[in-house]
Amino acid sequence: MKIQDQLGRLIELKNKPKRIISIVPSQTELLYDLGLAEEVVGITKFCIHPEEWHRNKKRVGGTKQLNMDLIAELKPDLIIGNKEENEEGQVKQLMEDYPVWMSDIYNIQDAYEMITLVSKITNKEKEGYKLIGGIKNEFKQLKINNSKFKNSFVGYFIWRKPYMVAGGNTFINYILEEICGLKNVFSDDLRYPEVTVEKIKKAKPDLIFLSSEPYPFKQNHIDEIRQLLPASKVMLVDGELFSWYGSRLLQSPKYFSKILEGSM
C-alpha cells in the first residue's frame, strides 16, 4: 500500500500494519474508535483516552520527548504523528527507521481527511467512513444564529506564566471563528503567542476561555483574570473539545451549543 500523509510524503507499507505506535493523543483515541486495540502497541503518556489504553499500553514518552529506545523495542511497522504536536528532529529520526504517517490539521476538512487516510492505512475504511458521517451529522445540529455570543470577541488562553493564547492559523482559531461564530482577538498573532497583561487589556475581549489543556486552568484562575478584565465573561472550557481533531469531534458540537446558548 502507498498512501500520502498530510505533509505530502508518500508512505509505503508492504503489509497491513500490525504494530502501530501513536504519538498524538487525539489520534490515539481515533485508533481506538476504529477498532485497533490489538494493533496499537505504543502510545504517549499524554494519551489519556481511552483510560484502558492509558493504563495498559506501553508509553513511549511525551509527544515532544519520545523514548527512542523503547520505540525500537516495540518494533513498530507504522508510527502516526502530527506536525504541530511532535518535535521535528525526533520525527525525522523516526522516519529514517520506520514508516511514519504525519497529520497537519488547520480546519475541519483537514480533520476529515486525516480520519479518512488513517482509516485507509490501517485497513479500517468502513469504520472511518461511518465515523465521519457521525461527526458531520453532529455538526449539522450546531446552530450559531441564535447564539447569545454571536460575533463576540474572544481570547482563548492555553498557558499561564507567561500567558499564551491560541492565535491565527490554528485549528482552535478555526473552531472559534468558523464553527462557533466568535471573533478571536488574537487572530492576527499566528500560532500560540505569548501575550502581556497590557496586550490583553488592550484587546478587550468580551469572552475569555481558559482551556483545560495544556495548562490546567482552575477556578482560582478565573478570579485572577477577572481582576484584569472585570467587564469580560471568563469561563473554563474543555480543551479537548476545542483542539482534538479525531473521533472526539463527535462530542464537540453539543458542547459548543451549551457555551453559545449561555448555559455553561
Q: CA 66 to CA 24: how far, in whole Å?
A: 11
Tell me 9's DSSP state: P
pLDDT of residue 143: 85
pLDDT of residue 1: 87
Q: Per the structure block, which three cell numbers stand in for 12?
A: 509505503
Q: Residue 245 in contact with residue 171, Cβ under 8 Å?
A: yes
CATH fold match for the domains 2-139 and 153-260: yes
Closest CA to 108 of 246, 228, 236, 260: 246
Low-confidence ranges of the chain (pLDDT < 70): 263-264
Per-domain residue ranges of the chain: 2-139, 153-260
Q: CA 189 to CA 200: how far, in whole Å?
A: 13
Closest CA to 142 of 243, 259, 236, 233: 259
Residue found by looking up cell 481511552 in the block: 50
Q: What is the pLDDT of residues 178-209, one digit of tens each?
A: 999 999 999 999 999 999 999 999 999 999 99
Q: Strand, helix or coil at 233? A: strand
- CATH class of the region 2-139: alpha beta
pLDDT of residue 262: 82
Annotation: CATH topology of 153-260: Rossmann fold (3.40.50)
